[in-house]
Amino acid sequence: MDLKQSSEAWIQKIFDGHESCCMINFRMSKIVFTSFLRVLETRYNLQTSRHISSC
């Protein structure tokens, strides 16, 4: 990630790329990452805020 790129744009670029990009950067597959996000949203009430997006 470079300084000009937002975190959200960086994550989206990883998700749009090859499956191996997700494994290299997050140490989990796209399916596991999105499942983990859903768990955080449902069990722990993770929500998008002014400065942070949950998706």
* Helix residue ranges per DSSP H, 1-55: 7-16, 19-26, 30-43
pLDDT score at 47: 83
Do the domain assignments include residue 51?
Answer: no
Do the domain assignments include residue 55?
Answer: no
This prediction has a pTM of: 0.67
Q: For tokens 């937002």, name the residue.
A: 6
Do the domain assignments include residue 2?
Answer: no
Do the domain assignments include residue 52?
Answer: no
Give dist(CA 17, CA 24) in Å, integer: 11
pLDDT score at 54: 61
Model confidence pLDDT, tens digit, residues 1-44: 666 678 778 888 998 999 999 999 999 999 998 899 899 989 99
Q: Report how many domains make up the chain.
A: 1
Supply the range of the domain harboring residue 31: 7-43
